[in-house]
Amino acid sequence: MYAAGDVARWPHPQFGFLVRFEHGTNAADQARCAVARLDTCVPYRPSDYVWPGCDWRLQIVGRLQADGTEALFGNLELERPRAALPHADAAGRLCAAVVLNWPESFLQCRRMIAAGAEIVEARNLLNAAGQA
């Protein structure tokens, strides 16, 4: 038996506790995984990614940690502001990011989270991108 979407909770391979993500991207990812697992036993590895459909592009990846840290990058003074808020876990790894109207930086954050990058690397990259 498989479940997908808002009703599904599973042990997250990176965070080590049960999670539930209530958004369409996750439901589609889970459905693809369920189909692929019909004759195999491959663990579900979520993309932990969501973006709402609105005028501004707000993209979220990962999972905030209660004992983590964050810093704001970007330019909020633009006509169409852009910003990134990378979030580190207690070990100093990038574990989540909230990004507004800055798709290039969002993709970089998403890749760094998947690679287990240090928050210092993310901050350096975002700082350099914000200067451009």
Phi, psi dihedral angles at 99 (to 5 degrees): -130, 135
Within the chain, where are the H helices?
24-36, 103-115, 119-131
Strand partners, 94: 88
Q: CB of 50 within 8 A of CB of 21?
A: yes
Domains of the chain: 5-39 (no CATH), 49-131 (3.30.390.30)
Identify the band that residue 102 occupies on the pLDDT scale cut at 50, 70 and 90: very high
Q: CB of 107 within 8 A of CB of 51?
A: no
Q: What is the pLDDT of residues 23-79, one digit of tens each?
A: 777 778 877 777 777 777 666 666 666 666 678 889 999 888 878 788 899 998 999
Q: CB of 44 within 8 A of CB of 54?
A: no
Identify the band that residue 113 occupies on the pLDDT scale cut at 50, 70 and 90: very high
